[in-house]
Amino acid sequence: MIVSPSLLAADFTRLSEEIDMINRSEADWLHLDIMDGVFVPNISFGFSVLDAIKPICKKPLDVHLMIVEPEKFIGRIAELGAMMMNVHYEACTHLNRTIHEIHEAGMKAAVTLNPSTPVCMLADVIKDVDMVLLMTVNPGFGGQSFIEHSLDKVVELRQLIKATGSKALIEVDGGVNKTTAPKLAEAGVDVLVAGSYVFKAEKPEEKIKELKQL
């Protein structure tokens, strides 16, 4: 399993220690949640925080943009050296163009679906994307409960990937914990994002290790 801890649940008063923990851990990537208060009803952190993280984080950056018009920031996210840029299907009017622009900027491209958006909406882009991020809670906040129907969406997405010969990875985000993670692994997920489950734990590195073993 690929594990991408979500920094949203970290203690921001000791951010460099939290990043050190990620660097030491078995985490594969670091998941960064950017919110604009428009696409989602919350605001997280922006470029001043991302620029501070960039030089100290040794793991590839998995950037999840919960913002309107994410295409405006492709150049800026590329400058950050991000490995993956996740844009929401619901926020992109010209998704095909946005995916190609992300690739031209040298990053991998992922499309994210809200819980209410069906998997079939990806039929015409699935071969162009490196990853699909299925939201397993409504985006905007950490610590919410996993939406069980997401498991059916994972299975459906796996079928779409197989049928089209796409190489897209399946990532899930929201409510990942000891109970939901094994079910998600069983359903065919490649990447687990986990915020509260990792950062609120007494021994976060052990939680990461546990998810890695799935």
Minimum distance from CB of 43 to ligand DX5 (Å)? 12
**Is 33 an active-site residue?**
yes
Q: Which is nearer to ligand DX5, 70 or 174 (CB)?
A: 174
Report how far residue 178's alpha carbon sits from residue 68's, in angstroms, rounded to the nearest whole number: 33
Note whether 9 binds ligand DX5 by CB under 6 A: yes
158 CB-contact burial (10 Å; exposed 0-12 / middle 13-18 / buried 19+): middle
Candidates 62, 130, 173, 190; catalytic one: 173
111/89 Cα distance (integer angstroms): 6
Using CA atoms, how far apart are residues 85 and 112, in angstroms rounded to an integer?
Answer: 10
Cα 5 to chain center, whole Å? 9
**Quick check: 173 binds Zn ion (CB under 5 A)?**
yes
Which residues inside 116-145 make contact with ligand DX5, applying CB under 6 A? 137, 139-144
20 as an active site residue: the answer is no
Shortest separation between residue 197's beta carbon and ligand DX5, angstroms: 6
Q: Assign 3-state DSSP to the chain and report helix, strand, coil percentages, each to 5.
A: 40, 20, 40
Binding track, positions 53-92, relative to Zn ion; x by CB under 5 A: -----------x----------------------------
Residues found near Zn ion in the complex (CB under 5 A): 33, 64, 173
Residues belonging to the active site: 33, 173
